[in-house]
Amino acid sequence: MTRRALELLCLVALGAVWGWANDSPPWTFAGALLGALVWAIFDGLRARELLNWIAKGEASRAPSLSGTWGELVERCRKLIKKLEKKAQNSDARLEDFLAAIQASPNGVVLLDATGRIEWANLTAANHLGFDPQRDLGQYVRNMVRAPAFTAYLNAADFSYEIQVDGPGPRPSQPSKISLQIHPYGKKRKLMLTRDVTALQLAETMRRDFVANVSHEIRTPLTVLSGFVETMQSIPLEAADRERYLALMSQQAQRMQTLVSDLLTLSRLEGSPAPGAGEWVDGDELLSHVLQEARGLTQAIAHPPHQIEVSEHAALLVSGAKTELLSAMSNLMSNAVRYTPGGGNIRAGWRSTPDGGAQFFVEDTGPGIAAEHLPRLTERFYRVDRSRSRETGGTGLGLAIVKHVAQRHGGQVEVQSTPGQGSTFMIHLPASRIRQRSIA
Ligand code: ADP
């Protein structure tokens, strides 16, 4: 017999005894009924206590009841605890999941059936320029105002992605955001965003590059084919033929230089940076490029330039010798090509306070206006287009110099005053430089 039934019996018996003590059978019956009523009230109170606790559902605040109620409390407590644990586990899983989506480089926005933002990660908010907390519950069409996006939502054809402008570093420089909606569940939508600014920039650069190369090759090709046609159609005097052939060879040479510079650039871009490699004597590099420059000035300048070493640090440079030579001779040949004949060109190595060193070429040429300086190392960027062409320039020289410097952990610096001259420097870090003891 359960404790609860025993309690009922006891109370009924107590009531009956109390009635019987009053010497009349109806009182005995009434006493028993009263006992049962008292039991029912107490029992009801305990049931209410249990129900109240279950309604709150906190396992740790279980009422202390005895008997059958106690047993019920214990079983409910275990059940609630189990549910609490399950809920905790799924909360933790949800948090892990959301943290993973937060860390994603792609933006994720969850939209409800009416197009309001239910949840968004920080990346999406940055891509589209809204606040992931404050703007929850807002209609996404109010948050992303680009006409392309409104049209995309209205058409409700989400089989392709679209691009919209995002809030870039400056209003004049918006970022390019690619965005696609994926419907799921009951009319809900998952919106994924991706920053494609760099991709677009690379694509624009690729297109510009192809256009530039085509243009650079087309000019000498047109000249060449013009001469070929002339020579085919008109009988020429020996002297004219010689002159035409010299001009044709000049154009062919121009294309060859361009192709060779392009190959050098693509080799520099596509290969790993040179290791410590060999240690090359700075003097050896310097005298090589000085000799080249003296040859060039004799050939193209009237009168030739004064070319001399103005500073001399005895050092060894580590890296790829051919690359270093190509970068240094590009700077020397620019100085010769852009400085009017008879000008002064000074070059040399100097140590720098950071333990590194600088190869410098200083000229008394036309100088370069400040607004051109940041763009000088861009491929095909020219300040003086006609002078560059006249002297066989490809517009790739300084791009090669920059790549070589960067591959050796260094950088290119330019100082220039229009009308007075320029100084181009390749700065190499301490790790690439060793002092040479002079014997
Ligand atoms: P290029 O083959 O045309 O010389 P570079 O990349 O070597 O191409 O140089 C880019 C541009 O920088 C040149 O077209 C020229 O206008 C300018 N430049 C380079 N070196 C000098 C210099 N020493 N003095 C004046 N302008 C220079």
What does the pLDDT look like over 329-350, one tens digit per residue?
999 999 999 999 999 999 999 9
Kindly give the distance from the C-alpha atom of residue 10 to the centroid of ligand 1, in angstroms, as a whole number: 112
**Token duo for residue 188:** 């809900």
- Please tell me whether residues 108 and 182 are part of one structural domain: yes
Burial of 140 (0-12, 13-18, 19+ CB in 10 A): buried
Least confident of 64-73, 109-118, 350-359, 381-390: 64-73
Res 262: pLDDT: 95
Q: What's 316's DSSP letter?
A: E
Show the beta-strand stretches assigned E in 98-249. 107-111, 117-120, 162-170, 173-184, 188-195
Give the SS3 label for residue 354. Answer: coil
- For the chain, give percent helix, strand, coil, nearest 5: 55, 20, 25
Mean pLDDT of the chain: 91
Of 270, 299, 318, the residue at which a domain comes to its end is: 270
Res 138: pLDDT: 95
Q: Is 354 in contact with 431 (CB distance < 8 Å)?
A: no
- Identify any residues that bridge with 317 across adjacent strands, giving them in sequence order: 280, 433
- Please tell me whether residues 330 and 401 are part of one structural domain: yes
- The answer to whether the pTM exceeds 0.95 is no
The protein residue whose alpha carbon is closest to atom 17 in ligand 1 is 383
CATH assignment of the domain containing 254: 1.10.287.130
- Please tell me whether residues 429 and 285 are part of one structural domain: yes
Assign 384 a pLDDT band (cuts: 50, 70, 90).
Answer: confident
Closest to 187 in 3D by CA, of 137, 111, 113? 113
Kindly give the distance from the C-alpha atom of residue 382 to the centroid of ligand 1, in angstroms, as a whole number: 6
**Number of structural domains found in the chain:** 4
> Which atom of ligand 1 is closest in space to residue 392's alpha carbon?
2
The protein residue whose alpha carbon is closest to atom 16 in ligand 1 is 383
CATH assignment of the domain containing 376: 3.30.565.10
CATH assignment of the domain containing 141: 3.30.450.20
**Domain encompassing residue 244:** 202-270
Burial of 35 (0-12, 13-18, 19+ CB in 10 A): buried
Assign 260 a pLDDT band (cuts: 50, 70, 90).
Answer: very high
Closest to 362 in 3D by CA, of 339, 389, 390? 339
- Please tell me whether residues 142 and 233 are part of one structural domain: no
Task: Give the number of other CB atoms < 10 A from CB of residue 14.
Answer: 16
Within 6 A (CB) of ligand 1 lie 330, 334-335, 338, 363, 365-366, 368, 376, 381-384, 388, 393-399, 422
